[in-house]
Amino acid sequence: MKKLVIVFAFFLLAGCLPQANRITQTSTIDALLSGIYDGQTSCRQMLTYGDFGIGTFDKLDGEMAILNGKIYQIKSDGKVYAPSSDIKTPFATVCKFIPDSQFELKTVNFKTAESIIDEKFPNQNQFLAIKITGTFKHIKLRSVPAQKKPYPPLVEVSKTQPVFEMNDVFGTIVGFRTPPFAKGVNVTGCHFHFLSKDFTQGGHVLDFKLADGNCQIDKCNEWLLILPKNDLLQNIDLSKDKTTELRKVEK
Ligand SMILES: [Zn+2]
């Protein structure tokens, strides 16, 4: 009987552990673009799906970066906060980060780093979790301020987004390369957030110049999508192509 209980407890626990090679996301990028900023999934729950990731918070209150199982909130003042695990997120993507390979990156910017990654990982129909650690000669970041109802669409918010630029900073880029077929559901291509080594500064990465660093890649072949249990997405039309809006918001 005791053995049975132990075996049962093991499977129960295993069921709660994050799966390797699985990307888990809550809601969709087009829902966020449409102004669905009310949080649906708690930070605590997101951490059951992974220890690495990016996203935003309830009411669009800043950028989220998850590194080594800890969630960081970069608010519109550019500073990094430790959010309560009860705070909910309207959009986030996580995974259990177990790198399959790593390589050095020297004197690259966002574009050249992206092409090096594409060259090394030419299968565009595969999700990649990407971690770049190193010294950044320059990095351009942004965050977003918390919004009030009625929520404006993201493209309106991003017109007045605070932008931060830093020179000679050591830190880590956390992010994903998402396949083109996931258009409308997640941000296709590379989407990066940044945290300085001392966890005082960060944000959504607009551009960077990396002096010297290391890139780790985790290839992921499973994709779990969590949609809100309530009818939050009921009254929005998610059938339209929002590529132009997304480009304005991300870059
Ligand atoms: Zn972002």
Task: Give the distance (Å) from ligand 1 centre to CA of residue 54.
Answer: 7
Domain spanning 19-250 has what CATH number? Answer: 3.30.1330.80
Q: Using alpha carbons, list the distances in angstroms from residue 208 to 97, 137, 140, 214, 237.
A: 23, 8, 6, 14, 35
3-state secondary structure of 149: coil
Pairing verdict, β 222-226 and 22-26 = parallel
Mean pLDDT by 10 residues, the chain (251 residues): 62 68 97 96 97 98 98 97 97 98 97 98 98 98 97 94 97 98 97 98 97 98 94 90 90 79
CA 197 from chain centre, in angstroms, equals 18
Pairing verdict, β 63-67 and 70-74 = antiparallel
Task: Give the distance (Å) from ligand 1 centre to CA of residue 116.
Answer: 21
Task: Give the distance (Å) from ligand 1 centre to CA of residue 5.
Answer: 44
Whether 76 and 144 have beta carbons less than 8 Å apart is answered as yes
- Side-chain-side CA neighbours of 213 within 13 Å: the count stands at 25
Task: Give the distance (Å) from ligand 1 centre to CA of residue 174.
Answer: 10
Task: Give the distance (Å) from ligand 1 centre to CA of residue 11.
Answer: 35
Instruction: Write the pLDDT tens digit of every residue in 180-228.
Output: 999 999 999 999 999 999 999 999 999 999 999 999 999 999 999 999 8
Give residue limits of the domains in the chain. 19-250
